[in-house]
Structure formats: structure tokens, C-alpha cells
Chains A and B, each alone.
Chain A
Amino acid sequence: MRVLAIAHNTFRECIRDKILYNLIVFALLMIASSVALGHLTLGHSEKVIIDVGLTAISVIGTLIAIFIGIGLVYKEMEKRTIYALLAKPVERWQFVVGKFLGLLFTLAVNVAVMTAGLMLTLALHGGLPPGGYVRLLPAAYLILMSLAVTTALALVFSTFSTPALSALFTFFLWGIGHFSGDLLELGRAIRSETFAFVSRALYYALPNFSNFTAIDSRNVILTAAYHREIDAAAVGWVSLYGVIYTAALVGIASAIFARRDFK
């Protein structure tokens, strides 16, 4: 009940924020402009539209997750709105979980709106073969899963750091998280047991965003663009990874937040 009240208020805060609309309009413009790019490629225009469209959804979603996520808790402390809130019968973990769920729901709505925009663009451009639209959905879903992890990362930093530093840390880990597979390979290539151990530890500790961008070594966005099916079992495993990793990050954020003094 209280978690949902906080989540609802966070969602309301997000949707009343003009920055969000600017980013969504920008994403929809990118999707629409992909039509022009599509004309440059003979016979593959809808593939370009899907590729550009899903990439725009991912990039804009990541920007929203990071820039709103880093302020989720920090803003409440800076503006002192947290004082009256935590003086109510609210556990601190309920506050953190509520803030996370509120932004996650905002991102889910955004991804849904932008995916609908992409489908509309494709329909106006001449449509997709049967099943083509449905095959966009797993890609959109995996983008949302990666946004959940990104939001949780930003949330962790938001509980103890300033927005500027939080943005820096989140971008840094987000970047590394896309190349964590390479880190593991590096550990294998360099013949040092210590380095192999460190690289393996980092591989498991850092968020592995490539899980969400590639299934069975095939790029998720391109798979959707070529109307190929994405293996449902693999999506299930990736979802499990995403949920566990996100829950762990939200747990860490809650633990840090529970120990804070609000001077």
C-alpha cells in the first residue's frame, strides 16, 4: 500500500516533468525521421526503420533512466520533501522500492508509447509481413529489462552521491556492462591466475548489459528488424538475471538509505 503510494507519486512526478516529454518527442521524431533514412536503402527500408526506432527507444530510455534515476532519492533529500515523508509510518526500504517502481512504471509507459509510435510509423510506411509487429515486442521488452537494471544502478548512487557524480558512475558502469564479456575474455587471454580471478569476479559483479542486447550471440534489435523469432527460453533466463540483479541493486540502495542521517 505505502510502496504503491510512493510509486504512484513518483510516476506522477515523472509525467509532470517537461524533460520527459522533450525526450519522448525527440525519440518519436527520430523514429519518424528513420523513414527518410529507409528511402536510402533499396528494399530494406522497414529494417532501417526498426533498427533506428528500437535504438532510439533504447537510447532515450537509458537517458531517462539515468537522468531521472540519479535524482530519485537525492532530490527528495535536497528539497527536504523527505522529512515530512519519513516522519510518517513508512519504512525506509519502502521509500526506496516505491521510488524505483515509480520510475520503472514510467519507463514501461514510455517504452510502450515509443514502440506504438514505431509500429504506427511502420504501418504508415507500408506495413510489415504477418507476425512482424509481434516480433518487435521481445526486443522492446528486453530494452525495458536493461532499463530496469540501469535505473537500479542510478538509484544506488542516488542514495549517497550528488547527481553529477551519480551520472558519472552510472554511465561508467553502464558502459563497462556492455563489454563485460570482453573482460572475461581478457582474463582468459592474459595468463595470470590473479588477473583471471579478478576479471571473473568483475564479470559476475558488474551488470552484464550484453545479456539484454544479444540473445544467442545475435543482436536483439537486428533480429527484430529481420523479423526473426527470439528464443523464448533465452528471454526467460535473461529476465531472471535482470530481476535478480535489479533486486540486489535495490536491496543495496535500501541498505545504504536505511543508514543515512538527514542533516
Chain B
Amino acid sequence: MTPPEPKVMSVIEIENLTKDFEVGFWRKRRVRALEGLTLRVEAGEVFGFLGPNGAGKTTTLKILMHLIRPTSGSARILGSPVDQVAMRARIGYLPENPYFYDYLTAEELLVYAGRLLGLGAPQLGRKVDAMIDMVGLGPARRVQLRKYSKGMVQRIGIAQAVLNDPEVVFLDEPMSGLDPLGRREVREIITGLKARGVTVFFSSHILPDVEALCDRVAILHQGRLREVGALDSILDVSLEAHEIVLGRVPAGFGDRLRGAGAECKVDTLGDRLQVRTSGVPQLNTVVSLALASGAELVSVNPIRPSLEDYFLAEVG
């Protein structure tokens, strides 16, 4: 008899999470920020959490960090309920638009964070040096944070989030407000974390970065989960257009296409013809006609929409 397979535990398990906020001073009313969110993130994934402003991304992250309590539902990180304090020694968190004690230097902030994480003196000193090097703040390590630019604050924020070599890192809009150079640096840090097997859960508005970094994404809109899955499968689902390049096209082929009722856009590329179709039936029509008329099929390529196109179509 074979032993039962061990149950594979997701690193982040969110079950039917709902959060209502009360707004108004005299006449309080309830506003639902999150509705029935169910999500799983597996070990080693870089998971993108997308959605427009007010979609519920930060609310979800705050529930995961136990900064706010859900109205209903539950969430677990590394198998522990989110209110378990000991578990937080194994995770890291960068809040949205982070603000740290501006009277501290970068070095003092990391030592303070390390003491809260329970790191001892000899180990902490080495970790602080390594983190400051990793985020490139060596020359500014003894400068008070009040003199830091936004990008520098973001970088020290990431350093405090990964000081304890966490198994999971939660980053809330880590690229927000950064210039292209800063964004590239944050991308490189996330890539480095992934290479070390760290699970990264991050929310972002900057879709090209999400596209470049994430294994899977979830799209949240008005507190509800609209889509979740691997980036390729999400974008493949929405495949709509194809680009066909034909060679040795006989004269009058364009008229024959129109005569056959094919809805397509035709452009001339030197001695070739580029035809853009919409939908698989149109693709079949164009290819059949081209082959029947003796044209050469040079290439057929799906035109995959960018994540931005998809995102705008879903929530725009």
C-alpha cells in the first residue's frame, strides 16, 4: 500500500475574504471593499495583483498583514492564520507609499527592523551591510531618511522587507512613483528574490513590469476577482487577431477577399501582402483563399494583446 501523497500547501491561501468599511460620521453606511476573494499562491511564484485604484488590492494586503480584520472569510500564510505573530518572522512587507521614521538613518532603521525580527547582534550587522549593498544605498547609509528621495525610501523599504530572508514577500505598489532607473532596480531585486526561491506577491499599476516579472496574475475590480491565472493563459484566452503574410500574391487577390466577405485589413509590404484578421473563422477563410489562388503562405502569427490591452478591456 502506497502512503498517501502529502497535501501540497499553498504559501498564501485566501478563502472567501470579504471586507466592509463603515463610512460617514453621523449616518454610517457600509462600503464593500472586498467581496468573496478566493486565491492561492504557490511557493516560488511571482504573483501580480492587479486592479485599478479602489479595487481592493491594498485592503487585501492589509488583511494579510493583519492590519485590518476581514468582515468574513479567512487567510493563511505559510499554513498559519494571518493573526499569528510568530509567522511574521518568515515574511516581509513593503507598504504602499512607505514612510519610515525620518529621524533615523538607513542603517538605524534596518537595525531597528532587525531587532523587531528577533535577529541577534553579529548576524544583524552582517545582514544590514548586505541589504544596504543590495539596494545600493551604501553612500547614504548614515544619512537621515528625511533627506532621502522617494526612490531611496522605496529601496530602504524593500531592504527592511527582506532583511530576515523571508519565504514570502508582499510588496504593495513597489514601482509606484519611481523613475525608469528606479523601476529597473526594483525589477532586478524581485528577479533576484525569485532566483532565491522567495515567493513574491505584489500589487502594481505598472503593467509592463508585471508582464516582465510575474508567473501568474490576479485581476481585481471593484472588490471582486475578475481573472486569475498564468499570464500566458490569460492573454491566450483573449487571442483575437492574427497577422498573415503572403508572398507571390496574384493580381486581384484583394478583390477576391472582399468578394468572399472576409473582414480583414490588407497592407502591402514590398512584394508581399500583410493581412490582419479578427477571429479564427476569418483566419481560415483568408488562408484557404490564399492557398487556392496559388499565393505562398509566408507566416501566420497570433497578435497577442499586451496585459495593458487586456486590463483595459476587462476593467476599463
Contact = CB atoms under 8 A, between A and B. Distances in A.
B183 interface: no
Nearest to B65: A87
Interface stretch (A1-9, A162-170, A180-188): A1-9
Interface string B52-87: 000000000010011111000000000000000111
B93 interface: yes
A229 interface: no
A106 to B, nearest CB: 14
Contact of A81 (B91, B99, B118): B99
B101 A1 contact: no
Interface residue SS majority, chain A: loop
A191 interface: no
Interface stretch (A23-31, A88-96, A230-238, A248-256): A88-96
A84 B68 contact: no
B59 to A, nearest CB: 9
B115 interface: yes
Interface string A6-44: 100100110011000000000000000000000000000
Nearest to A82: B67
Contact of A86 (B67, B91, B118): B67
A130 B104 CA distance: 45
Most buried by A among B66, B67, B117, B160: B67
Interface string B9-45: 0000000000001000000000000000000000000
Nearest to A9: B112
B97 interface: yes
B157 A84 contact: yes
B68 A90 contact: no
Contacts of A5: 112, 115-116
A28 B261 CA distance: 95
Nearest to A76: B101
Interface residues of A, number: 24
B113 interface: yes
A204 interface: no
Contact of B116 (A13, A83, A89, A262): A89
A84 B85 contact: no
A6 B86 CA distance: 18
Interface in B107-161: 108, 112-113, 115-118, 157, 160-161
A262 B66 CA distance: 9
B98 interface: yes
Contacts of A218: none
A76 to B, nearest CB: 9
A87 B93 contact: yes
B62 A80 contact: no
A263 B23 CA distance: 11
B117 A89 contact: yes
B95 interface: yes
A185 B66 CA distance: 48
A2 B115 contact: yes
A83 B68 contact: no
A116 interface: no
B68 A88 contact: no
A86 B108 CA distance: 18
B212 to A, nearest CB: 26
A119 to B, nearest CB: 31
B97 A12 contact: no
Contact of B85 (A9, A85, A91, A263): A91
Contacts of B170: 87
Contact of A261 (B67, B86, B113): B67
Nearest to B89: A89
Nearest to B67: A262
A80 B65 CA distance: 14
Interface in A149-207: none
Contact of B68 (A80, A85, A89, A263): A263
A84 B66 contact: no
B100 A83 contact: no
Nearest to B90: A89
A87 B87 CA distance: 10
A89 B101 contact: no
Interface in A59-104: 79-81, 83-91
Given A79-B99, A83-B65, A89 B85 contact: yes
Contacts of B187: none
Contact of A2 (B68, B116, B160): B116
Contacts of B205: none
Contacts of B286: none
Nearest to B172: A83
B272 interface: no
B210 interface: no
13 contacts: A2-B115, A5-B116, A80-B98, A84-B93, A84-B113, A86-B66, A87-B67, A88-B88, A89-B86, A89-B87, A261-B68, A262-B62, A263-B62
Interface of A: 1-2, 5-6, 9, 12-13, 16-17, 79-81, 83-91, 261-263
Q: Which 4 interchain pairs have the tightest Cβ spacing? A: A5-B115, A87-B93, A83-B95, A261-B68
Given A12-B104, A90-B85, 17 more contacts: A1-B118, A2-B116, A5-B112, A17-B103, A79-B99, A81-B99, A81-B101, A83-B95, A84-B94, A84-B98, A87-B91, A87-B170, A88-B89, A88-B117, A89-B116, A261-B69, A263-B62
